Amino acid sequence: MEVEVQLTPEQQAQLAQIATKAGTVQERLVTSVVTRYLEKEARFLAAVEKGLAADERGDFIEKEEMDARLEAMFKV
């Protein structure tokens, strides 16, 4: 299946500039970007599904425990 995307002139110029700096052609850059996005989106959706399934099982933590975990994560 082929997908066609319409870019603004500004987006086209930016794509060309980035591709040149990356030492690649625009088509390869677009393919790479879309591949990374799709992989990231698939991981995110899988994590959401996992969280929803845990919630349905009643397997979750209380707000206070989550706050403590976040605070510990971001302590310097």
Does residue 69 lie within any of the structural domains?
Answer: yes
Does residue 34 lie within any of the structural domains?
Answer: yes
Separation of alpha carbons 30 and 7, rounded Å: 12
Q: What is the CA radius of gyration of the chain?
A: 20
- For 9, half-sphere exposure in the C-beta direction (CA atoms, 13 angstrom radius) is 0
Count of domains for the chain:
1
Does residue 4 lie within any of the structural domains?
Answer: no
Does residue 39 lie within any of the structural domains?
Answer: yes
> What is residue 58's predicted lDDT score, i.e. its pLDDT?
87
Does residue 26 lie within any of the structural domains?
Answer: yes
> What is residue 32's predicted lDDT score, i.e. its pLDDT?
96
pTM metric for this prediction:
0.69
Structural domain containing residue 40: 9-74
Mean pLDDT, consecutive 10-residue stretches, the chain (76 aa), reads 93 97 96 97 96 89 90 85
> What is residue 76's predicted lDDT score, i.e. its pLDDT?
59
> What is residue 59's predicted lDDT score, i.e. its pLDDT?
86
